[in-house]
Every structure is written in C-alpha cells, then in structure tokens.
Amino acid sequence: MREFIGGFSVCLDVQTALVTKLDGVIYAIKSVQKMGLTSLWLECDSTLVCVGFTLSTTVSSHAL
C-alpha cells in the first residue's frame, strides 16, 4: 500500500487555467526529483494537460 508523503500549494503568476495546470504538474515533478523519489502519482482533471505529458512532445513552462 502506498503512503501519502505530502502535498503543496504555490502561487503561480499566469494568465490561463491551462498554463496554471501545466505549471503545477511541472512543479510537482521537479519537487519529486529534488526529494530523490522515483515514483509519483499525479491526478489531473485536464485532458489537455494529460495528453501533453503522454505524447512525445515538449511541454515547457515559462513560470518555473
């Protein structure tokens, strides 16, 4: 059984909901890398964000 390690909240200075969600996912991935973890479970209600990370394309963030 997996254990909840933590969560985060951060203020993102962006204009659109899509960019905010992308930045949130990127922030979460970077945080997990900094903690040295090898697994991450992300839940997202944006199909476009999910597609952006499952296709072999580049997703970049200007806010992070």
pTM of this prediction? 0.63
pLDDT, position 56: 58
For 49, list phi and psi in degrees, rounded to 5.
-65, -45
User: Rounded distance, CA 59 to CA 49, Å?
Assistant: 9
pLDDT, position 62: 46
Q: What is the pLDDT along the chain (64 residues), one digit of tens a residue?
A: 678 777 777 777 767 888 888 888 888 888 889 989 888 887 778 888 877 777 755 555 444 4
Mapped onto helix, strand or coil, the DSSP state of residue 46 is coil
User: Rounded distance, CA 18 to CA 9, Å?
Assistant: 17
Query: Which of 29, 35, 34 shows the shortest CA–CA distance to 5?
Result: 35
